[in-house]
């Protein structure tokens, strides 16, 4: 019988969400995404310590930030030997509110990939979906550097990214779900708030419908999944980036999977247009407690993991 993973691939481009590239081949994903947290998790495994040690040894005279860049590119290069498409490599989260620094870091990352013989069309630069990150993406896209806008929790962020011409966005399904579940506390009803009613699923569906209705070319890639249901309810989304454990569950399942999202269904929908300039972007984000809190928390977490990675590298020098 056809597995759920194979069925999903009929409607959606499947992307692996991991720094553990040794797990990739068995799932045959088109692309792969990484972030500092995933790379930090990978280099603490025995299988990847040699790659960490080799990178530190070969670049020991460089600043620790430059060594981290080399490590990210080392992982990205290995991933691109396995996936036929693109790898996403993240700009340091500590630059999330600095447009120029984000652009400069993106240029450095693209150059390092080029030094390894990898063209920019196989790389997506991940930027936080702050106003400053969106403006950085606008500049980079015009230069032919493709961007993946991450830490996305609201339609306002999505619209700003599309209008800036970003290649791809990564709305976070699971983290939205986490927020609403925590906020509800003992009143949370999983049966009522799961499946198609999952708040994270609904967020991605709104963004997808808006993009298709207004003809935005930016790709929608659902991310940060907690359950198989969150994935199957978004079958038909442009892309879905999925962790290895959930990829395995899909590969082990023969349950029938149906397409839930399609461009045609959004064309004639009644979807009001949203105006997004800097002031309205900031107000709409501020007016959404979930998006504001999860964006801030995500930046803090990625920044903290970058610091942990720096300390790990310093200990090896």
Q: Which domains does the chain have, with CATH numbers?
A: 4-316 (3.20.20.70)
Sequential pLDDT tens for the chain (317 residues): 799 999 999 999 999 999 999 888 899 999 999 888 889 999 999 999 999 999 999 999 999 999 999 999 999 999 999 999 999 999 999 999 999 999 999 999 999 999 999 999 999 999 999 999 999 999 999 999 999 999 999 999 999 999 999 999 999 999 999 999 999 999 999 999 999 999 999 999 999 999 999 999 999 999 999 999 999 999 999 999 999 999 999 999 999 999 999 999 888 889 999 989 999 999 999 999 999 999 999 999 999 999 999 999 999 88
From the list 28, 5, 276, the residue with the least C-alpha distance to 164 is 276
Burial profile 188-213: b = 16 or more Cβ within 10 angstroms, e = fewer: eeeeeeeeeebbbbbbbbebbbbbbb
Q: In the annotation, is 126 catalytic? A: yes
Query: 9, 45, 81, 126: which one is catalytic?
Result: 126
User: In this structure, what token pair is assigned to residue 220?
Assistant: 């929608």
For 278, how many CA atoms within 13 A lie in the half-sphere containing its CB?
4
The secondary structure of the chain, three-state, reads CCCHHHHHHHHCEEEEECCCHHHCHHHCCCEEECCHHHHHHHHCCCCCHHHHHHHHHHCCCCCHHHHHHHHHHHHHHHHHCCCCCCEEEECCHHHCCCHHHHHHHHHHHHHHHHHCCCCHHHEEEEEECCHHHHHHHHHHHHCCCCEEEEEECCHHHHHHHHHCCCCEEEEEHHHHHHHHHHHHHHHCCHHHHCHHHCHHHHHHHHHHHHHHHHCCCCEEEEECCCCHHHHHCCCCCCEEEECHHHHHHHHHCCCCCCCCCCHHHHHCCCCCCCCCCHHHHHHHHHCCHHHHHHHHHHHHHHHHHHHHHHHHHHHHC
pTM of the model: 0.96
């Amino acid at each position: 019988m056809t597995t759920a993973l194979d069925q999903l691939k009929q409607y959606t481009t499947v992307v692996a969400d991991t720094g553990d590239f040794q797990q990739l081949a068995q799932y045959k994903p088109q692309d792969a995404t990484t972030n500092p947290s995933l790379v930090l998790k990978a280099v603490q495994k025995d299988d990847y310590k040699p790659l960490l040690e080799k990178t530190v040894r070969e670049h020991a005279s460089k600043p620790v930030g430059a060594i981290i860049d080399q490590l990210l590119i080392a992982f990205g290069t290995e991933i691109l030997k396995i996936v036929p498409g693109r790898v996403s490599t993240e700009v340091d989260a500590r630059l999330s509110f600095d447009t120029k620094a984000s652009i400069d870091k993106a240029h450095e990352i693209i150059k390092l990939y080029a030094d390894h013989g990898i063209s920019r069309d196989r790389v997506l630069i991940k930027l936080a979906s702050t106003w400053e990150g969106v403006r950085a993406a606008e500049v980079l896209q015009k230069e032919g550097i493709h961007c993946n806008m991450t830490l996305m929790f609201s339609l306002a962020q999505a619209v700003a990214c599309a209008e800036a011409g970003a290649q791809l966005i990564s709305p976070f399904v699971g983290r939205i779900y986490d927020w609403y579940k925590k906020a509800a506390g003992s009143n949370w009803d999983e049966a009522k708030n799961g499946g198609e009613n999952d708040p994270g699923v609904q967020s991605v569906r709104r963004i997808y419908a808006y993009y298709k209705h207004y003809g935005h070319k930016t790709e929608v890639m659902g991310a940060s999944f907690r359950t198989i249901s969150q994935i199957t309810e978004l079958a038909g989304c442009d892309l879905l980036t999925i962790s290895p454990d959930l990829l395995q569950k899909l590969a082990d399942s023969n349950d029938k999977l149906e397409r839930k999202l399609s461009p045609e269904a959004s064309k004639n929908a009644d979807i009001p247009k949203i105006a997004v300039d800097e002031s309205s972007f900031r107000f709409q984000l501020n007016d959404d407690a979930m998006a504001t809190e999860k964006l801030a928390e995500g930046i803090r977490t990625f920044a903290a993991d970058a610091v942990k990675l720096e300390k790990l590298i310093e200990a090896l020098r």
